[in-house]
Amino acid sequence: MRILPTVACALLLLPAVAHSAPNEPASTDKTDLPRWNVRTDALMVAMPQEKLLPLLPDLRDPGKIDAAVEKLLAAIQRKEAILTGCLMLFTLDGARGESRAITELLYPDDYGGPQAPQTVMDPANAPANRWTGVPNPSSFTTMNLGPFLAVEPHVSANGNSIRLEFEVQRATLLGFDVYDSALAKIEMPRRFCSKNSGQISLQNGQRSLIGVHVLTKPKGYLEVFILQSSATPLP
């Protein structure tokens, strides 16, 4: 008997946006080693909807996003917002890297059924066939909860712009669904996942808003994902 967990997923794929970075081709000289060390930061912040909505126009504006992020950080200090994720990743130009801060939740995903009927004596000393035992877990699956970042950066020849292939997500446990059987109650986890993936072109050191999500928990909150990437020459 196989039971799958319930997954609520908020997925918002924003179109790849090319900001005011110069239109320079990435370095294509494959004979040389990578010349750039790339740092990418992922900031995840949840805030009550009525407080976050007025900040969205500035978060979408490349010229105003830095000041808007400072307001978000100040709101976190005042406990008016929740820091849901903060990941930093170093990788070489052209190399994919991953960063995560997860909790592993192990749960059964398959159960063996009760034993076949056996002949037993009932209280009246008459033989009767009865099922014995309860469903027992026969295999397990690991569910990852928490923030995750994966990027593959491509730096222009002079280092002024960076093209990012990215995946950012955060998963949380909402609770457990209970499935009743004749012999036992089986609990299965219910997960909520916010995720963004795609490509974006940034100026070296620039921030960009890449996702806005309506959260199930806490109710009435919005969550934003913000990426920042910068490249420095290798020694």
Q: pLDDT tens digits, residue range 45-90?
A: 999 999 999 999 999 999 999 999 999 999 999 999 999 999 999 9
Q: Are 186 and 7 in contact (CB under 8 A)?
A: no
pTM greater than 0.95 (yes/no): no
The residues that bridge with 137 in the sheet, in sequence order, are 111
- In which residue are the tokens 């749960």 written? 107
**CA nearest to 141, candidates 112, 175, 114, 111:** 111
- In which residue are the tokens 């009767």 written? 128
- 174-211 residue pLDDT tens: 888 887 766 677 777 888 999 999 999 999 999 999 99
Alpha-carbon distance of 67 to 58, in angstroms, equals 8
> Distance between the two ends of the chain, CA-based, in angstroms?
58
